[in-house]
């Protein structure tokens, strides 16, 4: 079902070179510096995935958003409602759910609409996953849906499909999760204590204690107080608590932090103004603009902390979260209704860069959902500031064409050495090899294109594909 030359240019000369380059890198270990796999699946050595629907469909908003866009209710895809429909997605992490017919119906709905994924990255990943992970050699459709369900299900019961076994089979060298600042990192502690050799590292994500307009911010601050052992009564103790947590994450192996913001705006507030906003937030009496200004200011504070503790800073900006209020109210947050907005970096990042853009200890990795900024702003910024690096194509752009555009628009100005290789950025654990494979094929093909156009020579080409597939991620994220 999967062709050996898939995703390569049709040109025979370029394809032959691409294949040769790909052969050199395809078996390199996978470095996964940014993603959303739940660490609990590795904490319990006996953990098993429940069933195909809970594993492949219900947690994957890439899949259900497209089905929803064609009018298929999320309920029919197994997504849990806030109002009491049973918790199919969460329970999946605890134990197989008893009612198999429910999951079989979800799977059937998916199979009947599988044609919607023609030509999409999800279609590519799923084909790879079914073939290479589950050894299913048929294209999914309405007729064979239950047979394929059975095939996957039977494999999920075998020990070699337990998460730790898959981690090893996938040849993962390191896998970083994303964890709230207030997370106790119990799973990471359990993994470490278990003596298992897999390298699962936390990443410090403070959004829920930084965005003062987020529902539950007050409770999150209380939680942060408790877990850091720091009474947070003012801005100074708030910073101290954050520094405390960063130190704890670092002690648990974290090498990076991660920050989400609708815009890349950064501001240097005076201590006094930061304090005022913080106090208003504690009293739940924000003024207009407080959230935006405080978030923008905290990005600079986080950069400052990175210059001190050496954690690599990631900034993911440009997503309008929970754009569809019906979905948010019925199914909760993060249900595939996040839509990108236009983004600006040159002016917005200046306050941060004025302070730390030349700092030798800072690495700030930028991500964008607005591809028009690649060539005009991000590549020139990364091609100048020592502290800046560009993250790989993100989210909607983590696709074959998205990767092509990234190479074509970024690399000439930034050079590959101001980029950081690949992130799979996924919560769908079994899709990790497929995602890295798309990147490695696309990178091989791009470098082959440079070679066949005589822009680089063979030595360059070999160094470049290895850097893109492996070295850059490892060095940029300080995972050495």
User: Could you say which residues in the range 37-96 bind a copy of itself, by CB under 8 A?
Assistant: 65-66, 68-71
Write out the H or E segment, with its range, that includes residue 173.
strand 172-176
Q: At its nearest, how many Å lie between a copy of itself and the CB of residue 476?
A: 12
The distance of closest approach from Cβ of residue 37 to a copy of itself in the complex, given in angstroms and rounded to an integer, is 23
Q: Are 177 and 249 in contact (CB under 8 A)?
A: no
340, 320 Cβ separation under 8 angstroms: yes
Separation CA 431–CA 441 (nearest Å): 15
d(CA 429, CA 35): 9
* Interatomic CA distance for residues 479 and 209, integer angstroms: 26
Q: At what angle do helices 271-282 and 235-251 cross, to 10 degrees?
A: 90
Cα-based angle 376, 122, 463 (whole degrees, multiple of 5): 55
For residue 17, what are its two tokens? 């070179």
Which is closer to a copy of itself, CB of 283 or CB of 454? Answer: 454
Tell me: does residue 388 bind a copy of itself (CB under 8 A): yes
Q: Residues 136-175 vs a copy of itself: string with x where CB under 8 A?
A: ---x------------------------------------
Q: Which stretch binds a copy of itself (CB under 8 A): 22-30, 35-43, 280-288, 458-466?
A: 458-466
Binders of a copy of itself among residues 185 to 224 (CB under 8 A) are: none
The least distance separating a copy of itself from the CB of residue 64, rounded to whole angstroms, comes to 10
Is residue 247 packed enough to be buried (19+ CB in 10 Å), middle (13-18) or exposed (0-12)?
Answer: middle
User: Quick one: which of 310, 305, 280, 283 has its CA closest to 293?
Assistant: 280
Q: Where are the alpha helices (DSSP H) in 195-234?
A: 207-210, 217-228
Which one of 1-9, 103-111, 171-179, 423-431 is the stretch in contact with a copy of itself (CB under 8 A)?
1-9
Measured from the CB of residue 151, what is the shortest distance to a copy of itself in angstroms? Answer: 20
* CA 370 to chain CA centroid, nearest Å: 17
**Which residue of 53, 352, 416, 469 would you call a contact of a copy of itself, by CB under 8 A?**
416
Residue 364 Cβ, how far from a copy of itself at the closest point, in Å? 12
* 14 sits near a copy of itself (criterion: CB under 8 A): yes
- DSSP-derived 3-state class of residue 200: strand
Residue 116 lies near a copy of itself (rule: CB under 8 A): yes
Backbone φ, ψ for residue 119 (5° rounding): 80, 5
Question: Is 288 an interacting residue with respect to a copy of itself (CB under 8 A)?
Answer: no
Closest CA to 381 of 272, 277, 283, 266: 266
Nearest CB to a copy of itself, comparing residues 65 and 427: 65
Q: Which range, of 34-42, 201-209, 279-287, 405-413, touches a copy of itself by CB under 8 A?
A: 405-413
Binding residues for a copy of itself, how many (CB under 8 A)? Answer: 95
In the set 266, 399, 423, 444, which binds a copy of itself (CB under 8 A)? 399
Least separation in angstroms between residue 413's CB and a copy of itself is: 5
Q: Give the one residue of 227, 252, 282, 456 binding a copy of itself; rule: CB under 8 A.
A: 456
Please list every residue from 299 through 318 that binds a copy of itself, using CB under 8 A.
Answer: 318
Q: What tokens does 182 get?
A: 């207030």
* Residue whose entry in the numeric block shows the structure tokens 């800072």: 362
According to CB under 8 A, which residues from 346 to 385 bind a copy of itself? Answer: 346-347, 350, 353-354, 357-358, 360, 369-372, 375-377, 379-385
Nearer to a copy of itself, 211 or 409 (CB): 409
Q: How far is the CB of 463 from a copy of itself (least distance, A)?
A: 7
* Residue found by looking up tokens 């007050």 in the block: 218
Tokens 């101290």 correspond to 240
Shortest reach from residue 235's CB to a copy of itself, in Å: 26
In the 8-state DSSP scheme, what is residue 228? H
């Amino acid at each position: 079902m999967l062709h050996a030359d898939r995703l390569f240019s049709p040109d025979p000369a370029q394809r032959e070179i691409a294949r040769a380059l790909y052969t050199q890198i395809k078996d390199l270990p996978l470095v996964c510096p940014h993603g959303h796999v739940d660490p609990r699946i590795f904490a319990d050595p006996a953990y098993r995935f429940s069933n195909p629907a809970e594993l492949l469909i219900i947690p994957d908003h890439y899949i259900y958003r497209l089905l929803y866009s064609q009018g298929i209710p999320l309920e029919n895809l197994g997504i849990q409602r806030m109002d009491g429909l049973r918790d199919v997605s969460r329970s999946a992490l605890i134990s197989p759910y008893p009612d198999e017919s429910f999951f079989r119906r979800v799977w059937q709905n998916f199979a009947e609409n599988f044609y919607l994924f023609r030509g999409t990255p999800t279609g590519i990943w799923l084909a790879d996953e079914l073939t290479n992970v589950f050894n299913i050699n048929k294209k999914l459709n309405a007729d064979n849906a239950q047979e394929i369900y059975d095939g996957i299900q039977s494999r999920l019961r075998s020990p070699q499909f337990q998460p730790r076994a898959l981690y090893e089979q996938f040849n993962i060298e390191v896998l970083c999760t994303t964890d709230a600042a207030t997370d106790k990192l119990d799973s990471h502690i359990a993994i470490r204590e278990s003596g298992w050799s897999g390298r699962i590292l936390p990443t410090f994500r403070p959004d829920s204690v930084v965005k003062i307009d987020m529902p539950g911010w007050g409770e999150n601050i209380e939680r942060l107080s408790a877990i850091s052992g720091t009474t947070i009564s003012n801005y100074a103790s708030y910073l101290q608590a954050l520094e405390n947590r960063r130190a704890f994450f670092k002690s648990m192996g974290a090498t990076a932090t991660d920050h989400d913001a609708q815009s890349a705006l950064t501001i240097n507030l005076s201590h006094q103004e930061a304090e005022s906003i913080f106090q208003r937030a504690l009293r739940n009496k924000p003024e207009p603009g407080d959230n935006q200004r405080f978030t923008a200011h905290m990005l600079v504070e986080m950069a400052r902390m990175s210059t001190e503790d050496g954690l690599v800073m990631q900034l993911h900006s440009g997503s309008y979260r929970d754009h569809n209020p019906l979905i948010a109210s019925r199914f909760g947050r993060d249900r595939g209704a996040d839509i990108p907005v236009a983004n600006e970096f040159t002016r917005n990042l200046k306050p941060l860069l004025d302070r730390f853009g030349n700092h030798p200890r800072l690495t700030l990795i930028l991500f964008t959902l607005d591809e028009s900024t690649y060539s005009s702003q991000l590549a020139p910024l990364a091609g100048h500031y020592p502290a800046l690096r560009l993250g790989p194509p993100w989210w909607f752009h983590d696709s074959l064409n998205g990767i092509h555009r990234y190479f074509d628009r970024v690399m000439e100005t930034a050079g590959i050495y101001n980029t950081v290789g690949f992130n799979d950025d996924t919560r769908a654990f079994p899709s990790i090899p497929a995602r890295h494979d798309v990147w490695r094929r696309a990178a091989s093909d791009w470098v082959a294109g440079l070679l066949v156009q005589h822009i680089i020579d063979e030595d360059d080409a070999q160094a470049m594909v290895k850097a893109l597939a492996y070295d850059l991620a490892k060095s940029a994220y300080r995972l050495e």
